[in-house]
A and B are shown apart, each in its own frame.
Chain A
Amino acid sequence: MSTGLRAIAGFAIGLGTALALGQVDSASRSVLKGAAVEYMYPEQLTVTAGKATDVALHFRVAPGLHVNSHTPKDEFLIPTTFSIPDGLGVQLAAVTYPVGKDFTLPADPGNKLSVYTDEFVIQARVVATAGNHLIEAKLHFQACDKSICLPPKTIPVAIDVIGK
């Protein structure tokens, strides 16, 4: 290969890599607003491999906000749901959601909503294979306060599941 060709190839590869890195860096610095819901704990869970284990997952809703419960009273409202993607070595066998609290908007006192506020706990039954699984489960919800609503959102729920 000639020196000229080598130089072109080197430049092209270098340029491509630099641009790709620039893009990743830019994405990671994208504007993040405060989370409406935050996962609290547990961060780690030790289970017997192959055996169903119950775990209580604790979440916190930002002050002043509420999210719909898993069973909202209006067909158009988005329910709070928890899921674990397939193929992570941890299977979600069952989920039990807390009962929502009744909530009324001041401008519509006759209409009751079913919501979670402050802290809420989702009971999940998981079955893990042997090994250490750092999973990223998902919580999907839609939050509002008394006068505004935020778009639906899915947050990661990171748990280190150790199957023994």
Chain B
Amino acid sequence: MKRNTLVLTLVLFIFATFAWAGWANFEYRKQTAERLLAQAARGELVVDAAGMPEYVSPLKGKPAPAFELEDLDGKKVSLADYKGKAVLVNFWATWCAPCKIETPWLVELRNQYAAQGFEILGVSTEGDGVGKDDKAAWDKDKVAIAHSAQQMHMQYPVLIDGDSIADQYGGLDELPMSFFLDRKGTVVAVQMGLTSKANIEGDIKKALGN
């Protein structure tokens, strides 16, 4: 009887060890895959022919990574909903001072080009590691994002939890970051950091095919 209990305990222990080992292996593979994905999409600053720094993204010329995020009302918004429109996916954060400088430009440009089939998706990327499981922190972030969006008169869709798609878009280690998509959803231009209203407008025209 005693021997049977011992054997049973040992067998259970072995099963538990296998289960744990399988889980650890899965997590390891998942982390590796995410890291490789982020590295594959990560751009870099290079100096162009005129000696000016230029951000080169491997996503340029490729279909924009698909995503579905919630807006501030909790409604699911998918990038695919905007097929047929030129879209600027603008990653920003409440704590990002350069983002606050470019946002009024974005609002103006969106109003100017909306009739031609142009839309902006303002994707908040707080980078603070807060997930939905921490409800208090999540709600606090959401209030701050809503307040910030209201203060800056962001009349275009404001989406939350950009961090969840950061890997697909190259890690988003620097903000603001803007991806300009043509009507087919192909990335035609990428801008990292604060540039100028004229630069942004130029890439919007490129996305519209003007």
A interface residues with partner B (beta carbon < 8 Å): 1, 5, 8-9, 12-13, 15-16, 19-20, 22-23, 26-27, 30-31, 33, 74, 76-78, 105, 107-108, 113, 142, 144, 146-152
Contact = CB atoms under 8 A, between A and B. Distances in A.
A151 B173 contact: yes
Contact of B21 (A15, A31, A77): A15
B10 A152 contact: no
A149 B175 contact: yes
Contact of B20 (A16, A22, A31, A146): A16
B101 interface: yes
Given A8-B14, A30-B35, A151-B173, A108 B101 contact: yes
Contact of A148 (B17, B20, B21, B98): B98
A150 B126 CA distance: 10
Interface string B117-133: 00000000111100000
B193 A148 contact: yes
Contact of A31 (B35, B99, B127, B193): B35
Contacts of B127: 151-152
Contact of B98 (A1, A15, A149, A152): A149
Contact of B97 (A20, A33, A105): A105
Contacts of A146: 98, 194
Nearest to B42: A31
Contacts of A13: 17
Given A19-B21, A151-B128, 8 more contacts: A1-B7, A5-B10, A12-B17, A107-B98, A107-B101, A144-B97, A149-B97, A149-B175
A12 B10 CA distance: 11
Interface of B: 6-7, 10-11, 13-14, 17-18, 20-21, 24-25, 27-28, 31-32, 35, 39, 93-101, 125-128, 144, 148, 173-176, 192-196
Given A20-B24, A150-B174, A105 B101 contact: yes
Nearest to B15: A12
A21 to B, nearest CB: 10
A26 B31 contact: yes
Contacts of B128: 151-152
Given A8-B14, A30-B35, A151-B128, A19 B95 contact: no
A12 B18 CA distance: 6
A65 B173 CA distance: 15
A142 B126 CA distance: 11
Contacts of B99: 149
Given A9-B10, A9-B14, A74 B97 contact: yes
A152 B13 CA distance: 42
B1 to A, nearest CB: 15
B18, B21, B125 — which one has the most chain A CB atoms within 10 A of its CB? B21
A152 B175 CA distance: 11
B24 A76 contact: no
17 contacts: A1-B6, A5-B7, A9-B10, A12-B14, A15-B21, A16-B24, A20-B21, A23-B24, A23-B28, A26-B32, A30-B35, A76-B94, A107-B196, A108-B97, A142-B95, A148-B192, A149-B95
